[in-house]
Structure 1
Amino acid sequence: MPNIHNLFLTSNPSAYAVILSSPLGSSNHNLISISCPLALIIPQDSSKWKTFSSEQVPY
């Protein structure tokens, strides 16, 4: 069975920045830091936007 880390890192390698660091303390496992930029997708059609006033929001 494939390792979930391998599947994650190899599914789209150009989308991630991976930094491999030395182990922490007396651990024998390296520290892996992964960053994945997320883009906010805003609809171009403003008719799909919803706006609310404070009177409309149930508290």
Structure 2
Amino acid sequence: MSVIRENLGEIGRGIETGEMEKEEVLAALQVQISHAEKILATLRELNQGVVDEQKDIPESYRDLLTR
């Protein structure tokens, strides 16, 4: 996530300084969205593994972990 944060900061600076055109900004944001989606998918898989292995997790927490 820190890499995404850094990349978004660079995109912001590119916008502020006028170094990035609209198309470049949109493309860069799409890449960061894709990276974030992959991270979320991985976290969901890890959480599902925890829920599957740990039977003593309350149902409300199970729901939260698998959203």
TM-score (norm 2): 0.28
User: Larger Rg: 1 or 2?
Assistant: 1
Higher relative contact order (CA 8 A, sep 6+): 2
Which of the pair is proportionally richer in strand? 1
TM-score of the aligned structures, taking structure 1 as reference length:
0.30
Structure ranking higher in helix proportion: 2
